[in-house]
């Protein structure tokens, strides 16, 4: 029988309710034992076996193997540090800290104490992203020239989550959505040599960044362009990849989040499946000089792979799929984005 790992979650907002709780509950190798909620009992209402605690320190008891930090961004560093110093393995929501100096400190504490520090970059397990990654690695497009990712929606009104609208370091769409799509590009193409970025605020009654364009520039001439807006009423391609031999274009977003919010369970075989009308299209010239145009079925997404990797890392020594040093590189790119926007020029990394 597999060893069962006890988990405590700090925070039970959307992330705790949608991305962590259901997957922990669905995997019998984990036991969701405690949840830290300051005033509510939402976790107890959803999972009647859970113990609700009122202080973060109550998650650090001997019977907890892993602490999940799922609280507002500006608390991630403090809570993760406390958990690590208490001897706990830690999963922390992205961004795992606000600055690279804080992130480096957390990594050093984890390494010194032989503890796991895992960053929840679940968008690496989006089916559409895994599909574009497979195309990039297939060689069908020849030498790659440009990559584009657009993370857009139409949500012109102020966010109801108050902490997301506070104009402080760590809020705004660059730290929220940007972390995801920067991490995706980084995981395919590596760390760029330069960054050029423009940050904007477009929503009325809000002062935080809600629109950005990020150019990740590489020494070989390749460029990844990442764009996010809350004012996109029309649909644009979510991904586009261009090479010397062809191109790949993909519309539509991975549907796991939408389906989880609607109540679908992680055990449902439909959860990570794309709809056919959103399948991507590849147009390329093969080795015989033939022009090939094909529909590309989307790889099935699976956020459950994150927790599967966590279990196998702790119990079997499997390498973390998302390494903390990679998350630190992503933070360095975000810091370069902020500096680039402020100075209006390219920033070398």
Give residue limits of the domains in the chain. Answer: 5-120, 123-304+333-348
- If we measure between CA atoms, which residue out of 50, 95, 48 comes closest to residue 69? 95
* pLDDT band at 202; cut points 50, 70, 90: confident
5-120 folds as: Rossmann fold (3.40.50)
Taking residues 3-23, report their average pLDDT: 97
Does residue 162 have a pLDDT over 70? no
Take residue 43 and report the two structure tokens written for it. 């976790």
83 Cβ contact partners less than 8 Å away, ≥ 6 residues apart: 10, 56, 59, 60, 67, 69, 90
Please give the span between the terminal C-alpha atoms of the chain, in angstroms, as a whole number. Answer: 48
| 15 CB neighbour count, 10 Å cutoff | 19
In this prediction, residue 164 carries a pLDDT of 58
Taking residues 212-239, report their average pLDDT: 93
> Tokens 């790889």 sit at which residue?
299
Take residue 172 and report the two structure tokens written for it. 């705004």
CATH class, 123-304+333-348 region: alpha beta
pTM: 0.94
In this prediction, residue 97 carries a pLDDT of 96
Does residue 65 have a pLDDT over 90? yes
305 Cβ contact partners less than 8 Å away, ≥ 6 residues apart: 125, 321
In this prediction, residue 230 carries a pLDDT of 80
* pLDDT band at 165; cut points 50, 70, 90: low
Torsion of CA 159, 160, 163, 166, to 10 degrees: 50
Residues 26 and 265 sit within 8 Å (Cβ to Cβ): yes
Does residue 167 have a pLDDT over 80? no
Taking residues 157-186, report their average pLDDT: 81
Residues 7 and 30 sit within 8 Å (Cβ to Cβ): yes
65 Cβ contact partners less than 8 Å away, ≥ 6 residues apart: 5, 6, 7, 88, 89, 314
Lowest model confidence (mean pLDDT) among 5-14, 157-166, 291-300: 157-166
């Amino acid at each position: 029988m597999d060893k069962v790992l006890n988990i405590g979650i700090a925070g039970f907002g959307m992330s705790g309710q949608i991305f962590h709780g259901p997957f922990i509950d669905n995997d019998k190798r984990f036991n969701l034992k405690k949840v830290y909620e300051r005033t509510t009992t939402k976790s107890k209402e959803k999972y009647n076996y859970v113990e609700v605690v009122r202080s973060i320190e109550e998650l650090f008891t001997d019977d907890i193997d892993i602490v999940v930090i799922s609280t507002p961004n500006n608390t991630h560093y403090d809570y993760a540090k406390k958990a690590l110093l208490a001897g706990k393995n830690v999963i922390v929501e992205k961004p795992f800290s606000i600055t690279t100096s804080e992130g480096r400190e957390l990594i050093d504490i984890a390494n010194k104490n032989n503890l796991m520090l895992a960053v929840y970059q679940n968008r690496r397990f989006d089916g559409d992203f895994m599909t574009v990654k497979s195309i990039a690695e297939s060689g069908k497009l020849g030498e790659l020239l440009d990559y584009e990712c657009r993370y857009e929606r139409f949500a012109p009104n102020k966010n109801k989550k108050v902490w997301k609208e506070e104009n402080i370091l760590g809020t705004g769409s660059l730290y929220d959505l940007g972390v995801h799509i920067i991490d995706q590009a980084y995981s395919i193409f590596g760390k760029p040599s330069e960054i050029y970025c423009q940050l904007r605020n477009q929503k009325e009654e809000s002062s935080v960044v809600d629109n950005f364009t990020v150019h990740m520039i590489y020494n070989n001439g390749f460029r990844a362009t990442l764009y996010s807006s809350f004012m996109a009423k029309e649909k644009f391609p979510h991904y586009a990849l261009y090479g010397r031999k062809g191109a790949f274009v993909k519309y539509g977003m991975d549907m796991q989040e939408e389906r989880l919010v609607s109540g679908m369970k992680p055990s449902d075989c439909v959860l990570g499946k794309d709809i056919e009308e959103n399948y991507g299209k590849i147009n390329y010239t093969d080795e015989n000089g033939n022009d090939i145009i094909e529909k590309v079925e989307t790889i099935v997404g699976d956020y459950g792979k994150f927790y599967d990797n966590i279990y196998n890392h702790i119990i079997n020594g499997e390498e973390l799929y998302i390494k903390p040093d990679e998350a630190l590189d992503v933070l360095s790119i975000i810091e370069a984005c902020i500096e680039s926007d402020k100075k209006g020029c390219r920033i070398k990394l």
